[in-house]
Structure formats: structure tokens, C-alpha cells
Structure 1
Amino acid sequence: MEFIYFLGRFHVAVLHIPLGVIVALFVLELLSRREKYRHLASASAYLWVVGAVTAIVTAVMGYMHFAEGSFDSASGIQHRTFGTILAVAITVVAGLRVSNTAQRFASWFLPASIVMVVLATVTGHYGGNLTHGSTYLVEHGPQFLRSMAGLGPRRPPVESLEAADPFLDLVGPMLTQRCSRCHSDDTREADLNLTSHASIMRGGESGPVVSRARPQASELLSRITLPRDDEAFMPAEGNTPLTEAQVRIIEWWLTAGAPVDTVIGELDSQPDPATATLIRVELGLSGG
């Protein structure tokens, strides 16, 4: 299985090839309708075959990547479904395009290329949800778009350290920014979702990642404080690590009992002066 996983990860590298070919296909099919560019018809036939081959290879690698088990969310299943439909559809059209009966279907190929562009766009959209999250495009958009995506109102700006929610204003945004690519509703690697307080406390396939009884022994803290060249260091290679200040803030949050739905001013465990300064800077407060 390791070799299958190895090949599957090349899916993210090769998927751009059929996308580019499909766009080129549409352009050639459109241009070849004009007498001046009629000679491009033979090139478009060639591109249909290239598109089919690359789409099949990409789909197979996608199935290999899916076998790792981290993409069984709604977006993952939809990405796989539309990717499969695209690979089958473009293969069928490519077969017709190079067959002896291609002339009979000549009027079909431009509409077919438009369908391929639509399928590729939908497939890419769901693939993007896997890497960036389903709310990435609308996160900073108007509230009516955020509401359509299931996002609540933006949190009001924090005006003082004491008024900040230690999770919702600090730790939550940090983990979402640095860790949601692999640990979200759409990509739960190790069955771990770090985008909400409830899911963090639930933990993953290896058990809890936060220990309120022994905060310094929390798996969450352990992973983000390992040497960066350690294979177990998180965020994984290719992702931007948390800053030293952010790690320090998360450590304080854990020792404070991993609180949420409260404000720092009401906690029994107050940050020491150095940590308080880091928190102010993270919140963008003056006087940090």
C-alpha cells in the first residue's frame, strides 16, 4: 500500500495537465469553426486523445490518493465523483473524435468541449475545498455570502487583552490558518479536525490531543514543539509552521485548561507579562 500512497500523491502534480488540455481543446474547437482556422481541427482531435489519457492517469492517481483515507468528506467524495465522470466523458468523446465516423458528430465537439470545461471547473472546485476548506473563497466576503457557506457573523474586533476569548480570538484562528489544510471537515488526516474547539477536544484516531489534567503532555503541544526536521513535527512539511510566539500562546492556553466561550480577564490562570505581550501583538492591540 505504501507504493500506492506514494504514486497517489503525484495526483496533485499531474492534475493541472488535463485542465490545461481541456481549456486548449475548447479554444481549438471554437476557432476551428471558422474557415480561416479550419486546419486546427486535426490538432483538436489530437488534443482530445491527450486529454483523455491525462484525465485517466490523473483519476487513477486520485483513487490511489483517496485510498489514504483522509478525503472521505463530502467534498472528497464529490471531487472523486466528478473527476471520474470527467475522465469517462472525455474518453468517450475522444474515441468519437478520432473514429471513422467523426464527421457525423462534428457539430457535437464544441458543445462537448464546453461540457468538459464545466466538469473540470466543478471537479477543481471540490478539489480546492480539500486543500483550502469549503469556505475559503467567501471567508473575507460579504456576510450574505458567508451565511450561504454556513459561516456566522465575523467576530467583532478585540479592544483589550482582557476582553479576548482565548480560543475564538487566539488559538482557534491560529490552528485554522496553519493546520486546516490537513485537519478540517474536508481533510481529516488521522481523523483529526482542528477547526473547532469541540473537534479538538474530541481528538483523532490516536486518541485525545489535549489533556486538561496534564497539559504539558498534550499531543497537540508535543507535535508543534518537536524539532522541525522530525517526521512527526506539525504542521507537516509544505505548510507554514506556527511562530514561536503562537506556540507560546497555545502552551499557555493548554495550561489554562483549554478554555472557550469566556474571556481572558475572567480566567483563573492569567498569562504572565511576557505571554500577555505576545497575545497583544497577536491580537493587533497597541501597546504590545
Structure 2
Amino acid sequence: MMALQRNIFNLVFGINILLVFLLIFESNLVIPAWLQVIGRMHPLFLHFPITLVLVFIFWHFVVVKKMMENEWIVNIDRWLLLLTAFTASLTALMGLFLSKEKGYDVNALQLHKWSGIAIAIITTVWYGYNEWVQKIPWLHYSIAGLSTGIILFTGHQGGTITHGPNFLLAPFEFVSAQQEVLLSEAEIYTHLVQPILQTKCYSCHNDKKSKGELRMDTEALLLKGGKNGKLWDSAAQDLGLLMSRVHLPLENKKHMPPIGKPQLTETEIQILEAWIKKGANFKTKLTDLAANDELRIIGQEKFSKSAIDEFDFEPASTSSLKKLNTDYRVITPLSKSSPALQVDFFSPAAFSLDQLNELLEIKNQVVSLNLNKMPLNDDALSIIAQFTNLQKLNLSFTQITGKNLDQLNQLKSLKQLSLSGTKVSKEDLMTIAGLKNLHALYVWNTKLTDNEIIDLKRSWKNVFIEKGFTDDTSIIKLTPPILLNEEQVITTPIKLKLKHYISGASIRYTLDGAEPDSINAKEYSGDIILSGNTTVKAKAFKKGWISSNTIETYFFSSKFKPDSAVNILRADDNYRGDGASTLIDLAKGEVNNFKSRKWLGYKLNRMESLLLFNSFVNIKSVTLSTLIDIGSYIMPPTSIEVWGGNELSQLKLLGRLTPPQPTTVSKGYLKGYEINFNPTRLKYIKVIAVPIAVLPKWHPGKGDKGWVFVDEVYVN
């Protein structure tokens, strides 16, 4: 037994010599692939020395001290110390190999590395001189205390590198911060988006560890992105790198968060997507959004308790709200069960001061008043001043000149004031300097000069003043046109609805899949009727501006809806939707969420589904609606067949299509494959779609099997 202990100790001593040697020449150290594999075993082994150090110290100072005459107990003591030295040394060596990989903060890594090597050397020396050390009590206890302290410090540093700063106490801080947030103060990024990043992303993308050269712990670094580029693109169909990685299959090595880490919930994905779609603004408040906005609704649920606690006044009566709510004056609670109210006015043509006077019945409950673009003048200020609990006031693009603006000083709770597009001057604004709670003032498109804005900011150091962007030398790119059609499935002819919010912008479109330009593409006029399968592409143009990105939408025609459907071969277990009924429910799947129940995914089996009609129909085409997401291994089918007939046992081939395969990786998109054939009278249709058996050599997953994703089958 002693011989075995000596041999293990010699091995431990050799590892320590190797550690010292590698440290001396660390700057020239290059780790080959097979040693990288050993290095990546560091997280597996690191638990052994931590546990063994603590177990040994307990055994040594509690058990052995009482039973020193028992040789068996003493022998276990020697083995525990030897195994501690062995695992500490081996773990330190693996950690040194792992430290040569990119993505770690040098300073944090140095502390973890040196403390890990220190515990390896201390435990090795302790074992070698154990008998001598035990003869000097103060040294004996000092080494034990030092070893305990270093191993705990090393473990803490490793946890910080792996899981992010303050990983241990973060849940308490997170809960505490959330409990203090009021809905009226909640910002989309700070209070909805950032907590998601903190719990699901920071552990690998922080100041200590930055996988992919990406850090996400500050706004500036989020905007910068990593080695693979920027994290989001609000104009892209898949919203950019961040969301495309989130929607990759869990087994894909590029899926984020990686397998084994806490995954994003459906609500968290919804929050991130909605935030990016809105432009990923870091300062927008939840209360800036419309009452029916999805983020506003989520926020009302999340922060509703805090919002209620903020207000001590009684709610308005139900009868008053019913009477005052009209088509042009919408009154909604600020949050669920809150007594605070938000009022939005619409239709300038229908507005009158009487409508504002009528609201005095609920003046104590109104905390947000939106009069944007209403034809009101300075006389309205005396009425508005009576809403003493008002916190948010929007007077943008009204006829306010600044006269009598000082009447707003009565609004002691006012926090946000919008005067953009009005004729207010610096002198007018100085008359409301007494608004102590004001923290945001919006004055873009006013006659205020840059110097006057600077003076105002000096006077109101605690007020955020937004003047807007002005730069006559810049050419700005137009935003894409807005598609107002909510449904992509055409059961009866519909009118194409496009809009652009920039005055004077021209929308050009095509219906044949061609890229629209400013010469050959038709200009949108509002009288376009869609009746069949159509690819709509549209682009905005304006003189002096850079043309917008192109929007593309495929409209699917569905003349005949099957009465029922059956999957002859089952979809993959993870992507089974609502079974075969998914194919005929006319509910379109989304490009960036193939995990929803609107999609059927096929990999092991081909798609083979049967559509049944209770009575005969005359058809001439079948369209298979699919998702193409090449980076997620979702490819076009290699072949599509449509069979039909009046008897299940006598179906005939009606048409076959071999879709072209892509040659490069591109963003995800929806694709409809239309199979046309001679008009046929039938009751049964069978559709077969075959996934690609082997992904091509240019694909990141070359050699793997591809997927086919289908959400609908349309019959015409």
C-alpha cells in the first residue's frame, strides 16, 4: 500500500513540475486539439479537489484527532490528502490547457489559474511533509485554513467565469429589483429585456468570459455585437443573429442558450422579438406603448401589483368610464386592476374642448393624457392644469405657442412632457422650471436652437431633453413599407394594403417575385386585388433618401378547405403541431418560431398526409406551404407528389414537383410550392414531401439529414 502511495505521489510531484514548467513558458504555449479535449474536462474534475479538501480537513481535525491510535483511520487520512493533491494538480493542469482558448477575461482568469495552481502545490507539499507539519500546531492549522480559503476562493472565481458576476446572490438582487419597479417607470429594455439577458446570456457573455468575442453586459457592447456580427436586424425576416440562434433546434451546436443551460421560455422569446421589431430602443417605456401592445400587456401582468401601490386615489366609477369612452376618446386602465387611467384622443376633425372638459369628471384618476395632433391651443392649458395627478402629457403637434405654459406648474406629479412640433420657445419652457418631478421633455421639430437646448440641459440637469436628429449633410435610409394585410391566406379576393409613414414616400411593388425598382415596378395606388397564390415584394423610394429594404410576403390562395386530414406517416415527436389538423386550419406558421404548434417537422419520415372531403370537389392545384431555414437544417423537399381520386385504394398521381435546392446559407423565409394539373373531380388527396437525405458539402451540417417543415396544404 505504501508503494502505491509513493508511486501516486511521484506522479503528483511530476504534474506539479510540469505545471511550473508550462507557466514559465506560457507565452509560447500552443495547445493541440487532443490536449484541448483534456482541457475541456476541467469542469468535470474541478469538483473533486473542492470536496476532497473539505472532507480531508474534517477527517483530519475531527475524526483522526479522536482516534489517532487507529492505524486504519490514519491510513484513510493519508489517502484523502494524497487524492486531494492528485485531483488538485490534475485539475490545475487541465485548467491551464483550457485557459488558452479564447473568450475569457484575462484578469479573472489569472486569479482563478494562480489560486488553482497554488492549492495544487500546497496540498502536494503538505502531503510530502505531513508528519513534520503536524509537529508544529500553528503551521498545521495555518495550512489547513489557507487551503480552505484558497479552494473556496478558486471555486468562486471559476463560478464567476462560468456563470457570470455575482452568480451566487443574483437571484436575491433580481427579485428585489423587480419588486421595486412601478409600471409607470418600467422601461422595456431595463425591466423586461435585460433581466432575460442577465439570467440566460450573461454567464457566457460578460466581462470575465466573452464567448464568440461577444459581451452583452452593457448597451454599447450589445450594439457592437461579436465576431459573427451585430445581434439583431429589425428589418430582417428572422430579426438577425440573436433570434435565429434562439430558434435553432436544441441539438444544433449553434443553438443559444447552449444545451444544458437554462432555455428561454415562450414569453421571453416573445419579449425579445417584440423589442427588436420595435427598433431595440434602450429607453422606451412600457407606458409609451399602445394599450393593446403585446409588450404593454406583458408588462401590465408583470408590474401590475407595483402600479396599484403607487396610487392612493379611488377608481373612477364604471358608469363614468362607460359614458366617457367614445370612438375618438379611448380611456383604459394604466394596468390591470389599477385605478390610474390613460386617455388617448383620436381624429382631429372630431375634437373639441368640450371633450377635454368632460374628462374633468375623472380628473383625479387620469395620469396619462395623449392629445397628439389635436387642434387645441393655449386656452386648453387651463383645463389640463386641473388634472392634478397627471404624470404623462403629450401636446405634440398641437397649436400650443407657449403662452400660459406656466399653468402646467400645477401638475406637481408630471414626469413626462411632449411639446414636439409646437411653437414653444426657451423662455416659455423656463416658466415651468418648477416641475420638480419632470424627468423627460420632448421638443424635437421646434424652433429651439442647439445652444438653447444646451442651456436648458444645464438648468435642468435631471431632465432628459430630446431634440431629435438634425444633420443636413446626411442621407437617411427609408424604412420599409408597412403591410397592413393581417391574413396571408386568401379565401376570397382581397385588396393589397401597403402604407409608409414618411410623407412623400413612393411605394413600388411587384407580384411576380421580381425585385422592385423605381423605374419598372408599378407604383402602389391602393386598388390592387389579390386572388391567387402571389409573391408580393414592395420597396419605398423618395428623392434625397436611400431606398428602403424590400419587404416580401407570399399570399396563399385556399378555395377548398378539406373536411378532415390524416397523417399516414407521423411527424417528428418534437414538431407534431396539433396533428394532421395543423395542415388544414388556415393558421400560418411564423418564420422565426418553428417550435410553435403551427408547424409539422419531418426528418426521420417523409411527409405523407391524406386530405378528405365529404363531397366531390373540382380542383386543379395543390400548394404546399413550407418553411426554409437553411441554418437550422430546414431545406426544401427533394420532391413533392400529389395523388388524388374518389377511392382511397385507387389514387392516381396528379402532379410531381422537384424544388430547386439552395446553394448558400440565407435567412429563413416562407415558401409555397404549387403543383398544377388538369382539373380533377375527387374526394381524396394525398400529399408526399421528401426531406433531403444528406445535406450538401457547403452546408455547416454537411452529411446530416435535413428537415421539411410544413404548416398548411392549400387546395384550389
Q: Which residue among 145, 153, 164 is the counterpart of 1:122?
A: 153
1:277 aligned to which of 274, 297, 310: 297
For 1:106, which of 130, 135, 160 is the aligned residue? 135
Larger mean CA deviation between 276-285 and 69-78 belongs to 276-285
Distance, in Å, in 1 between the alignment partners of 2:108 and 2:143 is 25
- Taking the TM superposition and a 5 Å limit, the aligned residue runs for 1:25-64 are 25-31=56-62, 34=65, 36-39=67-70, 40-64=73-97
**Counterpart amino acid of 1:78?**
L
- Structure 1 residue 253 displacement after superposition: 0.8
Contact 2:286 2:295 survives alignment (8 Å)? no
SS in 2 for 1:180: coil
Residue from 256, 260, 276 that aligns with 1:234: 256
The structure where strand makes up a greater share of residues is 2
Aligned ranges 1:157-176 → 2 under 5 Å: 157-160=180-183, 163-176=185-198
Normalized against structure 2, the TM-score is what?
Answer: 0.35
Change (3 A) 1:220 1:261: same
For the residues of structure 1 that align with 2:88 and 2:204, how far apart are their CA atoms? 25
Q: Where does residue 163 of structure 2 map in the other structure? A: 132
Report if aligned partners of 2:187, 2:283 keep a CA contact under 8 Å in 1. Answer: yes
Could you say what secondary structure the match of 2:129 adopts? helix
Q: Distance in 1 between matches of 2:216 and 2:77?
A: 46
Mapped contact 1:210–1:218 kept (Cα < 8 A): yes
Secondary structure of 1:37's aligned partner: coil
1:34-72 Cα distance to aligned partner (Å, 9 max, x none): 464343333322222111111111111112222222222
Q: Compare CA radii of gyration and give the structure with the larger one.
A: 2
Q: Is the 8 A contact 2:188 2:275 kept in 1?
A: yes
Secondary structure of the 1:164 match is: coil
State the match for 2:664 in structure 1. Answer: none
CA contact (8 A) 1:32 1:41 kept: no
Q: Paired residue for 1:222?
A: 244
Given the alignment, which residue of 279, 283, 287 partners 1:265? 287
1:88 aligns with 2:121: yes
What is the one-letter code of the residue matched to 2:153? V
Contact kept, 8 Å, 2:161 with 2:209, in 1: the verdict is yes
Of 41, 44, 48 in structure 2, the residue corresponding to residue 10 of structure 1 is 41
Contact 2:40-2:94 at 8 Å conserved across structures: yes
- Residues of 1 paired with 2:298 and 2:133: CA distance? 70
Unpaired segments ≥5 residues, structure 1: none
Preserved CA contact (<8 Å) 1:49 1:94? yes
- Counterpart residue number, 1:72: 105
| Long gaps (5+) in structure 2 | 1-31, 306-334, 338-716
SS at match of 2:160: helix
Cα distance change, pair 38–281 in 1 and its aligned pair in 2 (3 A): farther
Conserved? CA contact 2:105–2:207, under 8 Å: no
Q: Does structure 2 conserve the Cα–Cα contact (< 8 Å) formed by 1:225 and 1:247?
A: no
Distance 1:11 1:266, change over 3 A: same
Q: Which amino acid aligns with 2:267?
A: A
Distance 1:105 1:163, change over 3 A: closer
SS of aligned partner of 2:256: coil
> How far did 1:204 drift?
1.1
Distance 2:233 2:51 in 1: 48
Letter of the 1:86 partner, please give it: I
Higher helix share: 1
Whether 1:184 aligns to 2:206 is yes
1:232 is displaced (CA, Å) by 1.3
Deviation at 1:246, TM superposition (A): 1.6
Which region of structure 1 is more displaced relative to structure 2, 25-34 or 52-61?
Answer: 25-34
Q: How far did 1:156 drift?
A: 6.7
How big is the shift at 1:16?
1.3
Structure 2: distance between partners of 1:78 and 1:133? 15
Alignment of 1:22 with 2:53, yes or no, is yes
Q: Give 1:32 deviation, angstroms.
A: 6.3
Change (3 A) 1:252 1:110: same
Task: Assess, with a 3 A threshold, how the Cα gap between structure 1 residues 3 and 255 changes in structure 2: closer, same or farther.
Answer: same
- The structure with higher relative contact order (CA 8 Å, sep 6+) is 1
**Counterpart-to-counterpart distance in 2, 1:34 and 1:163:** 61
Given residue 210 of structure 2, which amino acid in structure 1 is its aligned partner? Answer: R
Which residue of 1 is the match for residue 218 of structure 2? Answer: 196
Q: Distance in 2 between matches of 1:163 and 1:216?
A: 30
Question: CA 1:163–1:32 in structure 2 vs 1: closer, same or farther (change >3 Å)?
Answer: closer
Quick one: distance in 2 between partners of 1:121 and 1:19?
8
Distance 1:130 1:66, change over 3 A: same
Identity %: 24
